[in-house]
A and B are shown apart, each in its own frame.
Chain A
Amino acid sequence: MIATLASVTLRGLLNRRRTLLLALFGVLIVIIAALSRLSDPSDADALEFTGRLLADFGLAVLLPLVAVIVGTAAIGSELEDGTIIYLLAKPIPRATIVAVKLVVAWLLVAALVAPAVLLAGLVGTSGQADLGVANAVAIAVAGLEYTAVFLALSLLTSRALVVGLAYVVIWEGVIGGLFEGTRIISIRQHALAIADALGGEGAVTAELAAGSALIVGGVITALALVIAVRRLERVELRGETG
């Protein structure tokens, strides 16, 4: 039952052209890292540039972009085209549906972003694994939080993609930069804190301690899950006509 749910979810996500386009963004970060080597920088410069590339493009743009598109589609696309009815017409606890779809979406997000970031880290620093590994792990961990939040969002609004993008750009991009206090509930800052703690060798600077990032991140993920399950239990399907 779970395997079927997971495979239908995964096929649904992979069937969207949008998801496949996201893989191209991963290629882009690797290309940028490779191009940075052309100017033959010193090791310190290369580390600094790659550190900034992974943080400012990998963690700040690539991860939330992929997570918002995949996360809001995991249940949202079926809600939108009405095929969710075939899933809801089954005697499956709604919590199981949310959990399986979250895990599938999360693994897909991690698979689309983490390897590209790892590779970009290797290419940009000519083979030093630490920076790439730290960021890839941070992406995998924070990816769960992002995916959970965007999945819950797709059950709260039919404009989840727009709202999600607005959250990433306005809250994490602008407000997080202006007001330090908001950083504790910024998923991007959670990711940075994890990358920093895993040994970004000074190339990653985080404002938060990894411990508090993990705790707050865990709470937000759990909260998103609870909201998603409650909403899915109460989803109303009207049909097209009266």
Chain B
Amino acid sequence: MSTLALRGVSRWYGNVVAVNDVSFEVGAGITGLLGPNGAGKTTLLHMMAGFLAPSAGEVRLDHSPTWRRPAIYRLVGFVPEREAVHPFLNGRQFVLASARLQGLDDAEGAAERAIEMVDLRESAGRAIGGYSKGMRQRIKVAAALVHDPPVLILDEPFNGMDPRQRLHMMDLLRRMAAEGRTILFSSHILEEVERLSDRVLVVVAGRLAASGDFRRIRRLMTDRPHRFTVRSSDDRALARELLEHAEVEAVELRDGTLTVRTGDYGALTRAIAPAARRAGASLLELRPADESLESVFSYLVRR
């Protein structure tokens, strides 16, 4: 079992701070690194995989720094977010090249096993240039795990995958984790992290906003004030009716738009249709006004 540990890690580019004083440890099992785009997830992963030097602090894999130590790649498999893969290679050649560059004794056998694992045997003979996004992700995963590393780091591995491929990849990662591997993946999609990870690290604006058990973080995320915009045939009457509900905290009618604020997401969605009926108004549209991940995260950070 291998452990990745960050202590007081910061990274800045010029005077832009990408990662700000982050400390955590990742051990066996699946850990999800969750955060909106631009939060510093890739910078963190690249520092952990030894592709970037921390500007301050330390990144260690089993007690040795990862920066400028090519030997760690015997232990680490890395799947980058970037799609670029040598376009002139076919899938099998790409994975085989990885196996050979790892110096494996049975490179052919290892490559076949890895291709099998990501379910790409039928397409392995085709040039990667003609692969779909999901296939490209999977061939990258095959190349990263060809040497059977105890640590696997994946940057947005589910990007561009269809639901079936997504399930397959989740299954694969779960199996690898069950074998005692340390798996860390990043995502900006809540549901992916929720379904896969034992442990979650939430990164916002370069800082570690929350870490730990997913259920606790999920609760923090749902128990926050929600805002909805509503369009109906009679906004004024509906607003009056909605105010009767205890879970509605505020109603605002401005420029012909009705905005409702509630602390209880579920209760409002159940209450609104009966309220409209009582008001004699037809509901035309009910839309969450601040469901962007950024607003969820910024709420978390304020907590």
Using CB atoms and an 8 Å cutoff, list the residues of chain A in contact with chain B: 1, 3-5, 8, 11-12, 15, 81-83, 85-94, 233-234, 236-242
Contacts and interface: CB of A to CB of B under 8 A. Distances in A.
Nearest to B36: A242
Interface of B: 13, 18, 37-43, 45-46, 49, 51-53, 68, 70-74, 76-78, 80-82, 84-89, 97-98, 100-103, 143-144, 155, 206
29 contacts: A3-B100, A4-B97, A8-B86, A15-B87, A82-B80, A82-B84, A83-B86, A85-B51, A85-B80, A88-B51, A89-B49, A89-B51, A89-B144, A90-B70, A90-B73, A90-B98, A90-B101, A91-B103, A234-B68, A236-B53, A237-B80, A238-B46, A239-B43, A239-B45, A239-B46, A239-B155, A241-B41, A242-B18, A242-B37
A239 B98 CA distance: 20
A239 B38 CA distance: 11
A92 to B, nearest CB: 6
B78 A85 contact: yes
Contact of B82 (A8, A240, A242): A240
A81 B128 CA distance: 15
Given A238-B46, A239-B155, A1 B100 contact: yes
B85 A86 contact: yes
Given A1-B103, A85-B80, A86-B143, A12 B86 contact: yes
A137 B99 CA distance: 38
B71 A237 contact: no
B38 A4 contact: no
10 closest A-B pairs by beta carbon, nearest first, are A239-B42, A4-B100, A237-B51, A242-B38, A90-B101, A15-B88, A82-B82, A82-B84, A91-B73, A81-B84
A144 B271 CA distance: 78
B158 to A, nearest CB: 15
Contacts of A12: 86, 88
B53, B88, B155 — which one has the most chain A CB atoms within 10 A of its CB? B88
A124 B85 CA distance: 45
Contact of B101 (A5, A11, A94): A5
Contact of A241 (B38, B74, B76): B38
A82 B79 CA distance: 12
A239 to B, nearest CB: 4
A81 B18 CA distance: 22
B70 A91 contact: yes
Given A82-B82, A82-B84, A239-B81, A8 B74 contact: no
Contact of B81 (A3, A88, A241): A241
Contacts of B18: 242
Contacts of B68: 233-234
Contact of A237 (B38, B46, B86): B46
A62 to B, nearest CB: 26
A86 B100 CA distance: 12
A91 B37 contact: no
Contacts of B13: 238
B93 to A, nearest CB: 9
Contacts of A89: 49, 51, 73, 76-78, 144
Nearest to B72: A91
B82 A239 contact: yes
Contact of A91 (B40, B102, B206): B102
Nearest to B75: A91
Contact of B85 (A1, A83, A93, A234): A83
Nearest to A4: B100
A95 B30 CA distance: 35
A4 B103 CA distance: 10
A83 B136 CA distance: 13
B87 A241 contact: no
Nearest to A240: B82
Contact of B42 (A81, A88, A90, A240): A240
Nearest to B206: A242
Contacts of B78: 85, 89
B139 to A, nearest CB: 11
Contacts of A240: 42, 81-82
A85 B70 CA distance: 12
A91 B74 contact: yes
B107 to A, nearest CB: 9
A237 B84 contact: no
A236 B51 CA distance: 5
